[in-house]
Amino acid sequence: MSEITTSATSGPDAPAVRERARLSFDLDVDICVVGAGIAGLTVALEAARLGASVAVLEGRTIGWNASGHQLGTVMPGYGVPLGDLIARIGFEDARELWALSKEGAEYVRATATEELIPGIAPSDGVLEVSNVDAGDQLISRLQMLGEDFETEVEGWQVDRVRAELKTDHYFHGVYYPKAFQIDGRKYVHGLAALARKAGARIFEDTPVVSIDSSGIRKRIVTPSARLRASHIVLAGNIHLGATLPRLSETLLPIWRYAAVTAPLGARLAETMTFQGSVSDSDGVDHFRIVDGDRLMWASPETTWAARPERFAPAIARRIRTIFPKLGPVEISETWGGAVGLTVHGMPQIGQLRRGLWVSSGFGRQGLNTSAMAGLLIARSILWGDERWRLFSPFELVWAGGPTGRVAGHVIGMWARGSSAAAGALARYRERVRTQERVREARLAEANRQAGTRPPRPRPQPGRPRPQRPQAPAPADRSEGEGSS
Ligand SMILES: Cc1cc2nc3c(=O)[nH]c(=O)nc-3n(C[C@H](O)[C@H](O)[C@H](O)COP(=O)(O)OP(=O)(O)OC[C@H]3O[C@@H](n4cnc5c(N)ncnc54)[C@H](O)[C@@H]3O)c2cc1C
């Protein structure tokens, strides 16, 4: 039944060599989970803790895709802006969904401890920075997050952001002191170990090839064995494929690539003092310091699978664009994984038909959301918790098949391009304002030395003349008139 093989993930932290079990005999369980990413493993762990017999079937290896290649940033919320969520489902339901997303983050915090997962290295604080100068919107955003959605946040003005990140690329920031980061690669293997300890059985190299979910006892077929289960949880992300093609077609696959630099020494400390994760408000760049003096950075995306090494130069260039003072950086490792995006941007959580569950579509923010989904589904199956119904407004919508991929690619390129253009425009405006301030200061100084005051601006032809003040001071009037 088992074989010895190398570990699931590539990379320095992957467990060296361990036993990998493949299912080769028929089995009867309460719950069969398809997929051993963070979504499937959380359901398995929670259901096993609640006393169910659980089998996880994984087509390749634990954490083989996105779950073993993420950056480990854990925040409240979803992949869609809060304003859009409120517009779609109303304030009260949005508040409940937000509270669930916080519960998911707290679940990860409680699970990702050094006692439960050695080497997981949790640390606090995530900063979301803005590419554009929209400081005027900061206060209302902070009020909404803090007061209405009970989330601890701090608003950072531009100076504070730039004191911590020495780049003029970003403007204001929203700091989440209770958000945190962990070693993302260790997390998925830690979850698997905890699930096994709780009694779940995990079978790798065991792809599910077909499912018959019509009866009370559902049938699951793999190449060398059959399973019967009362409940099936589909947590296969974009790779579910032919098993349930209509479900797979509701996800737009996006491959996201990341890298870690070689040690950068003191120059990194001179460039960035912030120790938590940083992500920009457009979801383009996401980075943090690791191992004291290396940068871990995720940015490029494609709608097709490509070799991650190809993106090393692009990531190095991106780092230089954001932090020019850092100079050239050497990339020492690259990786990538595919995330599944839904048309509405919210995850797919719920019961498709009696006993057939889906936990998928977590997009770029999968840690808190998949944890929450695991909790909701396990508790619904075993305790009758019905809160997953809050996700009912977000139906399964066809993502457009191959045409959708092309459209997704074009929209992605456009969104990144327009985000870059908006950022460039904001920085241009800022430069012009700074130059204008310098010019005014010089003029004021020249006038002071010459004993004069600056001239009033001439009225523009075709523009209405500004109203004269009601009772102008004599000196003002004479100077203004004299200069026009
Ligand atoms: C570079 C990168 C950085 C990221 N950083 C973050 C971050 O910092 N914070 C955050 O919250 N999120 C992050 N994410 C997103 C996060 O990784 C994903 O949302 C999450 O891992 C999705 O988990 P999953 O279990 O749904 O999918 P997956 O990890 O894809 O797992 C699904 C599993 O199901 C298996 N499977 C599919 N079909 C079958 C079948 N028929 N039979 C058997 N097995 C099957 C697959 O082999 C796979 O192992 C990042 C993603 C990437 C790529």
**pLDDT at residue 474, as a whole number:** 36
d(CA 292, CA 135): 31
Query: Counting atoms of ligand 1 from 1, which one is nearest the CA of 60?
Result: 47
Residue 379, φ and ψ in degrees, nearest 5 = -70, -30
Residue whose tokens read 């954001």: 322
SS (H, E, C) 285-345: CEEEEECCCEEEEEEEEECCCCCHHHHHHHHHHHHHHHCHHHCCCCEEEEEEEEEEECCCC
Give residue-wise pLDDT tens across range 24-55.
999 999 999 999 999 999 999 999 999 999 99
What residue's CA is closest to ligand 1, atom 37?
236
What residue's CA is closest to ligand 1, atom 50?
70
CB under 8 Å to 311, separation ≥6 — which residues?
257, 259, 300, 334, 336
Quote the radius of gyration of the chain (alpha carbons, Å). Answer: 27
Mean per-residue pLDDT, 403-424: 62
CB under 8 Å to 107, separation ≥6 — which residues?
42, 368, 371, 372, 374, 375
Mean per-residue pLDDT, 190-206: 98
Question: How remote is the CA of residue 363 from the centroid of ligand 1, in Å?
Answer: 8
Question: How remote is the CA of residue 482 from the centroid of ligand 1, in Å?
Answer: 72
Query: Counting atoms of ligand 1 from 1, which one is nearest the CA of 63?
Result: 49
Mean per-residue pLDDT, 82-91: 92
Per-chain mean pLDDT for the chain: 86
Query: Counting atoms of ligand 1 from 1, which one is nearest the CA of 368?
Result: 11
Query: Counting atoms of ligand 1 from 1, which one is nearest the CA of 61?
Result: 49
Among 62, 239, 254, 360, say which to mutate for ligand 1: greatest number of ligand atoms within 8 Å of CB: 239
Among 56, 67, 357, say which to mutate for ligand 1: greatest number of ligand atoms within 8 Å of CB: 67
What residue's CA is closest to ligand 1, atom 18?
366
**Per DSSP, which regions of 165-285 are E strands?**
173-181, 201-203, 210-212, 218-222, 225-234, 252-261, 277-280
Mean per-residue pLDDT, 238-261: 91
**Is the per-residue pLDDT at 8 higher than 70?**
no
Whether ligand 1 lies within 6 angstroms of the CB of 365 is answered as yes
Give residue-wise pLDDT tens across range 371-402.
999 999 999 999 999 999 999 989 887 776 66
**pLDDT at residue 419, as a whole number:** 61
Question: How remote is the CA of residue 191 from the centroid of ligand 1, in Å?
Answer: 13
> Which is more confident, 77 or 416?
77
Percent over 90 (pLDDT), the chain? 70
d(CA 329, CA 11): 20
Identity of the residue numbered 74: V
**Is the per-residue pLDDT at 100 higher than 60?**
yes
**pLDDT at residue 151, as a whole number:** 97
Give residue-wise pLDDT tens across range 250-304.
999 999 999 999 999 999 999 999 999 999 988 889 999 999 999 999 999 999 9
Position 472 confidence tier, pLDDT thresholds 50, 70, 90 = very low
Position 62 confidence tier, pLDDT thresholds 50, 70, 90 = very high
Percent over 70 (pLDDT), the chain? 80
**Is the per-residue pLDDT at 4 higher than 50?**
no
Whether ligand 1 lies within 6 angstroms of the CB of 256 is answered as yes
Among 64, 206, 237, say which to mutate for ligand 1: greatest number of ligand atoms within 8 Å of CB: 237
**Is the per-residue pLDDT at 65 higher than 90?**
yes
Question: How remote is the CA of residue 150 from the centroid of ligand 1, in Å?
Answer: 29
Residue 451, φ and ψ in degrees, nearest 5 = 75, 20
